[in-house]
Amino acid sequence: MSTSVQTNTDPAFQRCLAPDCAATYDLGQALTSCSECGGLLDVAYDWDRLPVPKSLRDFEKKWSRRNEPLCRSGVWRFHELLPFAPPEKVVTIGEGQTMLQPSDGVASYVGVDPGRLFLEYEGLNPSGSFKDNGMTAAFTHAHTIGAKRAACASTGNTSASLALYCGVSKLMQAVIFIGTGKISYGKLSQALDYGALTLQIAGDFDDAMQRVRQVSEQLGIYLVNSVNPFRLEGQKTIMYRVLESLDWQPPDWIVVPGQPGQQQRLRQSVYGVARARVDRSHPAAGSHQRHRCQHAS
């Protein structure tokens, strides 16, 4: 069992989100919760010891270097803002090449003036889901610490994304837990096409999640569900791309489909830019959860 490090001297580390705990752990540990209090973890940086761009415009210059894999990726183009892995360890398949588009039709429907509402289309990711933003980060961390198997519980998108990274990179075996009849068959077919080992259990997503956490801990399999702090670290870059598309002018509101955790992480992406002393403006954030929709995996 990994042990916590109360005073971490590394410029990048894992930290418990519970304010009354704030235990820290080094990057070499594969953790999904705090060993001290059981709380969720975040990836934190000592920005006083890390180089950051002098201007947000510096990220735009990487568009001219799209022949380089890290510059082509819409996640790793912002590597300076998530510097937990060296460039040579990054695993990318060109994720994050998404666009922000105005949608006057939706604006009219919700009572917003034309030209004032934009949609970030994450369906352009390689697996067809925004989950690739986080998967590239979690998969990179897994590769960095030498993992050979990666697992998830899923109702569709996470399994397709994990299997894609495993299949394309040939670095790990994907192991997927699904509940009885609780998965999108289109997404399941993606996972099977990419060679994932798929296990069906009796129960729903929560049952599958409980089982995959037990098995991953007992067998030393790297878990890539959203309890993984590196998954969420990669998803922050969605907001970086939104800001870039808006000429680095923060919008009044950011509305996120999903549970409140997604809202918190995207808000943290803006705060992270501020902590790195690149920008100081913060938009408001909100989330919308579809009726009867299970928490995303």
Q: Using CA atoms, how far apart are residues 191 and 224, in angstroms rounded to an integer?
A: 15
With a CB cutoff of 8 Å and minimum separation 6, the contacts of 229 are 14, 31, 40, 41, 42, 43
Helix (H, G, I), strand (E, B) or coil at 285: strand
**pLDDT tens by residue, 128-159:** 999 999 999 999 999 999 999 999 999 889 99
Return the pLDDT at 100.
95
* CA angle, residues 57, 60, 63, in degrees to nearest 5: 165
The Cα–Cα gap between 278 and 273 comes to 6
Q: In angstroms, rounded to a whole number, what is the distance separating the alpha carbons of residues 76 and 91?
A: 9
Please list the residues that pair with 177 across neighbouring strands: 153, 199
The answer to whether the beta carbons of residues 254 and 223 sit under 8 Å apart is no
pTM equals 0.87
Q: Is it the case that residue 4 has pLDDT exceeding 50?
A: no
CB 118 within 8 A of CB 223: no
pLDDT, tens digit (0-9, with 9 covering 90-100), for 171-187: 999 999 999 877 788 88
The identity of residue 127, as a single letter, is S
